Amino acid sequence: EMELAFYFLLVVTAVSGCGVPNYQPKSSRVVNGEEARPYSWPWQVSLESFFPTCGGTLIAPDWVLTAAHCITFHTYKVVLAEHDMTKEEGPEQSIMVKKMFIHPKWDDNCVSCGNDIALLKLETSAVISDKVQPACLPPHGATLAHNQPCYVTGWGRLYSGGPKATTLQQALLPVVDHSVCNQSDWWGSSAKTTMVCAGGESKSACHGDSGGPLNCKNRDGRWYVEGVTSFVDGRGCNTPQKPTMFTRVASFIPWISETMARN
């Protein structure tokens, strides 16, 4: 009874103050990526071990969503309100990760099998400010429309410790409907219904970050984390008909809610 009440509270608080940046993101339709307006993606997280490895998304003051394939080292910290990696700009918050939860069905040897999702419980809650805000979580099972404009954000790392931009980048990535993405000359059977495809018409995900968000604005005016960057074609980001694959957050809401409520 008590746990249920707490869970309800958790959902309500998560919904009330989410997905509304104080600094409006650039709405330009640059598909190959451009520098983001500083702090316009206030839920964007840099996940670091000894060096920055992946991106992540703040979904509650003490919870970060990322990709399971990003979890390799043991000690992690997250950095919030980060824009230029090379400078100490002032508003950054660096918080240690207390506990990591990898999806139980994740298989390291099979990224295309899906379930590439993980939750990080933070040692202390982030201080919510004009530069640090959680993203909204989509309702369970919600689907995205074909060509819905979403933005991928990050410092450009497509693999752990890979080359990166020094400032946060964003790129417009239209959603590719599942019925298109699972065609044999696209991703075929690698495209599962628990994934979101975006880009692929020579659109780039080069400026995303493994584990980082696919940000989509809803009709309610709020930004939702609809995807977690999972895998890109080995031939590079601009490969036609090989859009970036994201873990579809809406498929994993029960696991996310349960993990957060229990911990």
pLDDT over threshold 90, residue 32? no
Catalytic residue among 83, 116, 204, 230: 116
Q: From residue 258, give the alpha-carbon distance in Å to each of 1, 4, 86, 100, 118.
A: 15, 11, 37, 14, 13
Residue ranges of domains in the chain, CATH in brackets: 2-20+42-134+251-262 (2.40.10.10), 149-250 (2.40.10.10)
**Global pTM?**
0.89
Angle of helix 2-16 relative to helix 253-262, nearest 10 degrees?
120
For residue 179, what are the contacts with CB-CB under 8 A and spacing of at least 6?
A: none
Q: Which residue has the higher pLDDT, 238 or 246?
A: 246
Poorest-confidence range of 133-142, 151-160, 250-259? Answer: 151-160
Could you tell me the two tokens for 122?
Answer: 């933070």
Sign of the alpha-carbon torsion through 167, 203, 54, 117: positive
d(CA 104, CA 31): 34
Q: Work out the mean pLDDT of the chain and round it to a whole number.
A: 86
Structure confidence at residue 167 (pLDDT)? 92
Q: Catalytic: 116?
A: yes
| Residue 233 annotated among the catalytic residues of the structure | no
Higher pLDDT among residues 89 and 185, named by residue: 89
Of the residues 49, 210, 230, 251, only one is catalytic, namely: 210
